[in-house]
Amino acid sequence: MATTIISQPNGILPAFNNSIVKWENTTLSNVKYSEVYMISGSLPFIIYPAPDGTFTINMKDAIKVVLGDEPFKDYLLPNLSLGDWVYEDDNLKTVFNTEFRVCDDNGTCQGKSLGFRLIKSAEDMIGYRMKLDASPDMYLMLPSENNVDFKATYFEGYPFEVAMINMEGTNKTLKIKNVTTGMEASKTTNNLNVKRIVVSDGAYDLTTEDILPLTPQQNRLEIYVNDVFKNNLILDRVDAKCGVYLKWFNRNGAYSYWLFDKFFDDSITVKTDKNRYYVGYDNLENLTKKYQTGNKTATRSYTLTTTVKKEDYKTIESLYMSPSVEMYVHQTPFNQISDKSFINVDVDDKTYLVSEQKNGKIQVKVTITLPEYDMQNY
């Protein structure tokens, strides 16, 4: 009997939660260690046996090898003028093979290879238990109470899409029906990659105007695969207006968006290096200055506000915890998205309080800091 897997995580791995694999080898004598190759060509992780001869690894600790240097970067640049509105994204779901090799004191090794599917999500205990109970075979990568019903808001004229993960086989027909209007649109999918349904690329609203028109305010979309119902999406549509548009990587392993009010507090923080650089090497009567002040750093911060419905707050909540937040460079709608459309910003560390108003809406404030200015330092 060669290397045997005793236990492993089931389904799709959430990259930032525990994913424990346990294995053993009862064929080799004098077993010394195990090598775990996360992906082909990578250096192995060395694991030593427990007293009972078994090996254990938490994939969470090693999975950064698979994620790469920029795990949250968005490589999708949709262009709806070309007519396509469903895009495959193999960056949001990663498929990889890991080999678990057990070696004896002579360097003889026997291995077992396992295939895994991974998304860059972080599940909380309660939410994940609910997901397991629901056992969805397809779901949107957005917050949800039951993993069947989802909520999102589209701000007209700004880039927006919704990602969904497909756990079924290939050659499936994806159908979206707008129950509000009675209209529907279909698309054949050919693999198990994450599908991103593009509502707008900034300049074009082809999806919402021609393919699957949206009414002002609220639309109820039903999602089917091969005519079998999968999910509901309540999609609000907000008419075009100016504001500060943020995009962030959410806890569900995809992207969320929100347009904050156009009126915001703008502040600049300047710091000066207290060292002085003396330049006064002349007779007193010839001096105009004795020293040059130190170098400076400067950062700009925006304190943004918005008022959201109670059911939308889960979307905003993930902004505070996001590992990657970006700001749209335009504060006006209808600009074609490009690879220069978003810049990275930081969300200030603080305690964010939820203040529900009498009308049931929630007032949200968030402070973001833009990249540090390049200064005329020397």
Nearest CA to 54 among 4, 18, 114, 9? 4
Query: Would you say residue 68 has pLDDT above 90?
Result: no
Query: Would you say residue 206 has pLDDT above 70?
Result: no
Per-residue pLDDT, averaged over 2-14, amounts to 91
pLDDT at 160: 96
β-bridge partners, 93: 119
pLDDT at 272: 85
Query: Would you say residue 172 has pLDDT above 90?
Result: no
Read off the amino acid at residue 343: I
Burial class (CB in 10 A: 0-12, 13-18, 19+), 107: exposed
Token pair of 194 as six digits: 């994450």
Query: Would you say residue 127 has pLDDT above 80?
Result: no
Reported as a pLDDT band with limits 50, 70 and 90, residue 355 is: confident
* Averaged confidence pLDDT in the chain: 89
Query: Would you say residue 1 has pLDDT above 70?
Result: no
Q: Lowest mean pLDDT of 66-70, 231-235, 241-245, 324-328, name the range.
A: 66-70
Give dist(CA 256, CA 153) in Å, integer: 9
pLDDT at 147: 83
Per-residue pLDDT, averaged over 288-313, amounts to 87
pLDDT at 3: 93
Per-residue pLDDT, averaged over 39-59, amounts to 93
